[in-house]
Amino acid sequence: MQPDQLIQHVSAYNRWKHDLIQKINAYQSWLDAHKLSNPEDDLRVYEALNALEADRLTLAFVAEFSRGKSELINSLFFADYKRRLLPSQAGRTTMCPTELLYDDSATGPYIRLLPIESRKQNTSVAELKKSVIEWTSIPLDTSSADHMAESFAEVTQTKRVTIEEARELGLYDPDKLSPGDVNASDSHIDIPKWRHAIISFPHPLLEQGLVVLDTPGLNALGTEPELTLNMLPDAQGIVFVLAADTGVTQSDKEMWREHLQTYRKSHSNGLLVALNKIDMLWDELNDADTIRMDIAKQCRDTAKDLGIPDSQVFPVSAQKGLLAKVKDDDQLLQKSGMPKLVEALFHDVLPEKQEIIRNSVLSEITSIVNSTRMMIDTRLREARQQQEELQKLSGKNATVIEHLLKKTRDEQVLYNKNVEKLQTSRRILDRYTRELLSCLDVNTLDNLVAETRKAMTGSWTTVGMKKGMKIFFDNVHGNITDASSKAENIRKIIISIFEKFHADHGFEKIEPKVFTTMKYTNEMNRLYDEAEEFRTSPVTTMTEQSFVVKKFFIGLVSHARNVFFKAHQDGSSWSKAVLAPIIVQIKEHKKSIETRLETLRKISQSRETIESRIQKLDQICAELDSQIEIIDNMLDIIQKPVEEEPPQEMGKVIGRIP
């Protein structure tokens, strides 16, 4: 597979997303032109479009040291430079988590490096990203591949510190030391110089929104909980890299069990295993069939060790794949296994990513489009009802018309009474909504954190830590459970409102949108499991207890705040939108009653009004039918899958949106 074919996969997703943004903008303009929009929906569309435009596709590469992970990234993404960009020499290479992306807000390419000393702060990497002053910035000269490779090598840098300082930073683990790490005369140790790196440059894939996350080995994953609590779970795809020459080692199994099994629970796709360095098995003394069987056996053994299907393990040679691309040797490229990994990766990741977008951003757009469709349906139903009434009135005397006029006025009185009751119900809803959102407020969470810290003060034992964490998670679970209970009460009130208007006025039956805290509860449970593994890991056991607690809380609180913020945001959006369908029906019904009354008054004065009004309603129904067709086309666009080639029919559909 040539590099342009790799770009095609990401381009397909990017094209789908930008086509979608274009169509939503066109649809919004159409709504404005036909006076079908409202300020609340306009804001929801604006927020959804912002989320789509800011969306990125993240691929994370996870491996122990010396598995060829950096070489795999070179082979996949940077072969066009005809040399290695990421350092991939023998021994330890990437010493800190590294994000490769394109920052279009920056004045030029750069490398930003977060000093390892930032681990002493009570601040997460996510928060530190907001403050450029905390980082060391290096301009990146993209005109020179040599200069870029030299700059990239900075992520491999280490520094020598005392064991005491390493312990203070949470990086001292005597069980993990290799010979020569410690200088016996002054008790010094080598540690990573940087805590985190961000590399921004205009690579075609990165420019289209791809983010490559390169992670260090097990030791770094264990000491940086933010990686396992935030960054890895948020990735749309993970490649776990193993080496064919070593097989699945104990540290590989530990990494898989502690940091990747959880990913499998929350993602249906997107986790693949690359069995790298298969060229080590290319024994010239064996024939091709024997080599093929040896590689197949290695894949089966790997799958068995990890407890996954054989089809999830991909034998590759990153080094030969890179060499093949540099030399334009398609035969060697196929033999390296890289094309199959690329196909599997993107056929897994892109549908998963698209589904995430559908479930978050597009569900909001779909809700708005459906709301508009329901409004048009209501108008069409009311118009046809008026047609039937007017056709029945042809040739009728004034008494019949007066009777119908009185009946419509009575309906207007009933409508006004129900609207008054609705206002009372809305006041009750507002109270429940405030209570719901208070349960999910980040300030509420901060209070829980403060209480937990207070309970743990002076009790740095394992028992004390466990008790403190239990208090925290019990309180969090209680808040989310309370929020769920209040959301259910709101739902019951809304159902009663919908049923009331349906019974009294014949409104279309609508099932209110449900707000559930289940996914937030599941996320907190996952967070708790991750936190327990972090607390009981060998690295944590050997690290200074007070530092562990501090870093644990940084990772924990950072992620918990994100969960609460998202829950609060979703709850707030839901509470504002949940009554929208019935309010649309109410407004349309009010308009319909007023129009019918005005028409009947005119008819009582002049019979000629009947025919002209019927003709006018014919035109209105035709226009409404046309609007429904456009809305249905928009719903089809939203559900459209990612395509490899630019879709031809999209232009036809947009042509229907004046």
SS (H, E, C) 545-591: HHHHHHHHHHHHHHHHHHHHHHHHHHHHHHHHHCCHHHHHHHHHHHH
Q: Residue 209: how many CA atoms within 13 Å on its side-chain side?
A: 21
User: What are the angstrom distances between the C-alpha of 153 and each of 126, 224, 441, 470?
Assistant: 23, 21, 43, 43
Continuous H helices in 440-517: 442-456, 462-505
Q: What is the pLDDT of residue 604?
A: 67
CA 573 to CA 577: how far, in whole Å? 6
Enter the pTM of the model: 0.68
Could you tell me which residues come within 8 angstroms of residue 151 by beta carbon, excluding any fewer than 6 positions away? 111, 138, 140, 141
Could you tell me which residues come within 8 angstroms of residue 530 by beta carbon, excluding any fewer than 6 positions away? 225, 228, 229, 262
Residue type, 255: M
CA 3 to CA 77: how far, in whole Å? 8
CA 135 to CA 125: how far, in whole Å? 11
Q: 56-105+197-354 is classed in which CATH architecture? A: 3-Layer(aba) Sandwich (3.40)
User: What are the angstrom distances between the C-alpha of 356 and each of 349, 352, 369, 456, 604?
Assistant: 11, 6, 19, 38, 58
Instruction: With H, G, I as helix, E, B as strand and everything else as coil, classify residue 101.
Output: strand
Q: In what order do the strands lie in the sheet with 188-192?
A: 158-162, 188-192, 182-183
**What is the overall mean pLDDT for the chain?**
78
Shortest CA distance to 365 belongs to which of 587, 635, 140? 635
The ranges assigned to domains in the chain are: 56-105+197-354, 396-606
CA 54 to CA 105: how far, in whole Å? 12
Q: What is the pLDDT of residue 92?
A: 53
**With contact defined as beta carbons under 8 Å apart, do 260 and 218 qualify?**
no
Q: Characterize 627-642 residue by residue with b for buried, 16 or more Cβ atoms within 10 angstroms of its Cβ, and e for exposed.
A: bbebbebbeebbebeb
**With contact defined as beta carbons under 8 Å apart, do 16 and 354 qualify?**
yes
Q: What is the pLDDT of residue 473?
A: 77
CA 393 to CA 399: how far, in whole Å? 11
CA 273 to CA 345: how far, in whole Å? 10
For residues 367, 358, 233, 257, the Cα torsion angle rounded to the nearest 10 degrees is: 120
Q: What is the pLDDT of residue 646?
A: 45
Assign 3-state DSSP to the chain and report helix, strand, coil percentages, each to 5: 70, 10, 20
> What residue ranges of the chain have pLDDT lower than 70?
1-6, 87-94, 173-186, 218-226, 228-230, 264-268, 394-399, 455-466, 530-556, 604-609, 641-658
Q: Characterize 374-384 residue by residue with b for buried, 16 or more Cβ atoms within 10 angstroms of its Cβ, and e for exposed.
A: bbbbbbbbbbe
CA 98 to CA 76: how far, in whole Å? 16
Q: What is the pLDDT of residue 313?
A: 93
User: What are the angstrom distances between the C-alpha of 516 and each of 503, 580, 582?
Assistant: 27, 18, 20
DSSP letter at 211 equals: E
Instruction: Report the greatest alpha carbon distance in the chain.
Output: 114
CA 276 to CA 319: how far, in whole Å? 9
CA 111 to CA 154: how far, in whole Å? 9
